[in-house]
Amino acid sequence: MNRCVQAVRCLSAGPAFAKCSRNHAERDPTRPDSETHAMTHRILVVDDDPAYREDLADYLETYGFRTERHGSFAGLSAALERAEPDLVILDQFLDGENAVPRIGLLRRRTQAGILLLTPGTDAIDPVLALESGADDFVSKLVPRREIVARLRAVLRRAEAVASPPTGWVLSRTTRELIGPDHCLVPLTSMEFDTLAYLHERAGETVAREDLFRAVLRRGFRPDDRAVDGLVSRIRLKLGAATGQRNCIRSIRGVGYVFTGFPAAGREPARIATAPTLRGLAMAGGLPAKG
């Protein structure tokens, strides 16, 4: 079939979310290869319109996002109990009521970004939405690529706030920990998830049970030392980078407290022989040969 005819049929079949053949999907140079790109961010898509919810979630996954789909506040609440997401995409009118007054309650339960989906550009008081705790809002009528762009902007702002002021960079986007010497600290996927979870709750005691659910995705058993092993390895790797291992403190019989990244008090060991491109950019050039 002629591609132009195919595109016209797709557009005439419905609004912006009409499904087209994968071979005729819109071309976007910023979209990663979904078969090889690691799904890093956990996004909750919460909308009581099943067709819209599924279409949007499927589209986000082509950009490498890991999605969960829910159609009610009850589903959203259950998802938040299981693990902390990176961002919540929330339909403004969910379960037949305006969700804006409930954003404040939602914000007290999660530090995740909140992107509010509105039915139109004039259907919301922007000041009220933002002051209630939403990070941004966007109309359902805009192209899906704009939703992705706004989602990414919210994630970038959250990541900038979370970046430690000590020269360390903990990137949720690239899933990297970069030390003050601009070199990569090599963490496994579960080590990164453990550190990120503790870092998000810096200064708070995090129970082992919570780490089992959030990182290992299984129930806690007193004789299971998997979380203790992850924390021990993180301490060793951070200690190798700075000579200090006191960033995660054990609370006997309870769990752990993240107390902050160690300062670069002495010449750090080179963990990676080749710095990342981001590290080189931060350093302003190639590192000196040691």
**57 and 157 share a domain?**
yes
Is 50 exceeded by the pLDDT of residue 237? yes
- Residue-averaged pLDDT of the chain: 75
Q: Does residue 72 sit in the same domain as residue 129?
A: yes
Cα–Cα distance for residue pair 13/19, rounded to 1 Å: 8
Q: What is the pLDDT of residue 68?
A: 95
Is residue 263 included in any domain, yes or no?
A: yes
Together in a domain, 214 and 190: yes
Q: What is the pLDDT of residues 148-197, one digit of tens each?
A: 999 998 888 776 555 545 578 888 777 888 887 778 889 998 999 899 88
CA distance 31 to 275: 25
Classify residue 26: in a domain, yes or no.
no
Q: Does 157 share its domain with 49? A: yes
Lowest mean pLDDT among 154-168, 211-225, 238-252, 262-276: 262-276
Residue 91 forms part of a structural domain: yes
Confidence of residue 5 (pLDDT cuts 50, 70, 90): very low
pLDDT mean over 11-24 = 40
Do the beta carbons of residue 123 and residue 164 sit within 8 Å?
no
The CA–CA distances, whole Å, from 45 to 22, 36, 198, 216 equal 21, 23, 25, 23
Rounded distance, CA 233 to CA 225, Å? 12
Confidence of residue 13 (pLDDT cuts 50, 70, 90): very low
Please report which confidence band the pLDDT of residue 276 belongs to, taking 50, 70 and 90 as the band edges. very low
pLDDT digits (tens, 9 = 90+) for 73-114: 999 999 988 888 899 999 999 988 899 989 888 888 888 889
At which of 139, 161, 183 does a domain end? 161
DSSP 83-138: ---SEEEEESEETTEESHHHHHHHHHH--SEEEEEESSTTSS-HHHHHHHT-SEEE
- The pTM for the full model equals 0.49
Q: What number of other Cβ atoms are within 10 A of residue 116's Cβ?
A: 23
